[in-house]
Amino acid sequence: MKSIIKHTYILLLLLFLASCSNSDSIDKDEEKPTITINYDDGFPVACTQLSRGQTYTFKAMITDNKALASYSINVHHNFDHHTHDDQEEPCELEALKTAVNPFIFIENHTIEDAPTAYEIELSITIPNDIDTGDYHCAYSVTDETGWQARTSVDIKIIN
């Protein structure tokens, strides 16, 4: 009887081990998506000045090796002179100041049909009554497996 139980355990263990595999046949996504504003229609580029009361079309090109899922745009003040880890060329900053009525714009969007390339195109109106000064425009993109990329640039909002 002990022999049957012992052999049953060994057989189950062998079946379990055989079902495990390190097969490379699974197509894993190990690449982050890319995002750029460095093309002819990309907007805004570093140090762009935006006027209050005007509407602008923000554009960025995003790509992924498998499938894009979503993107976001975030425009926020930089009155404290913080930086983001991916900023390329910083602009000349104004003096530090305290925000009174800063412009804050955050929108998240789903990308339908899982394309591998997509151009973000979003119209944003700069309100007339917000603080002028240094701002950041940050784009973020996520692919279907959760990989994320982002980029941001310094911009200025002027009168």
Q: Who contacts 83 (Cβ-Cβ below 8 Å, separation ≥6)?
A: 90
Residue 17 lies in a domain: no
Mean pLDDT value of segment 31-56: 97
- Write down the pLDDT at residue 12: 56
Task: Quote the number of domains for the chain.
Answer: 1
User: Which structure tokens are listed for 32?
Assistant: 């982050």
Q: Does residue 36 form part of some domain?
A: yes
State pLDDT tens for residues 65-82.
999 999 999 999 999 999
Q: How would residue 86 be classed by pLDDT, with cut points 50, 70 and 90?
A: confident
pLDDT by residue (tens digit) across 102-113? 999 999 999 999
In a domain, 20, yes or no: no
In a domain, 138, yes or no: yes
pLDDT score of 85: 75
Cβ–Cβ under 8 Å, residues 105 and 70:
no
Question: Edge to edge, what strands does the sheet with 148-158 contain?
Answer: 48-51, 148-158, 133-143, 68-77, 105-110
DSSP 104: -
**Structural domain span for residue 135:** 29-158
CATH number of the domain enclosing 92: 2.60.40.2550
Per cent of the chain over pLDDT 90 is 77
Question: Is 11 within a domain?
Answer: no
Query: Taking 90 as the threshold, does the pLDDT of residue 128 lie above it?
Result: yes
> Taking all residues of the chain, what is their mean pLDDT, rounded to a whole number?
90
In a domain, 10, yes or no: no
CA distance 121 to 84: 22
